[in-house]
Amino acid sequence: MLEYQLRGDVPPNRTLYMALDNPKSLPVEQLQHIPNLQVAFDSDDEGNAAARVVKELLPQSKRLKCKADDWNQQLIDYLKQKKQQLRQEQDLSL
């Protein structure tokens, strides 16, 4: 956001990760000009409701859905999978 404030526009190639507790705290004015906007919420009722609010505020947004019950669990599952792959690769190299 600092770069946006200094430049006055969206940098050509940047990734922005933002965590919010409420969709109403989104900086909509800055985000409405970003054409490729991906958002992620848990797959529960609260996450679905928040996704609907963000879609209304930022129609160009695309929701990423997690495969697990929530994003924390998906990250834990991913870490376990990567560790298992690493162990298998190490076993093969022995």
Domain boundaries, the chain: 2-67
Least confidently predicted of 8-17, 30-39, 42-51, 67-76: 8-17
Phi, psi of 64 (to 5 degrees): -95, 130
pLDDT, residue 69, reads 84
pLDDT, residue 77, reads 94
Tell me the C-alpha distance between 6 and 26, whole Å. 19
**More confident site: 10 or 75:** 75
| Dihedral-angle region of residue 15 (phi above 0 means left; psi in -120 to 50 means alpha; beta otherwise) | beta
Side-chain-side CA neighbours of residue 4 (13 Å): 13
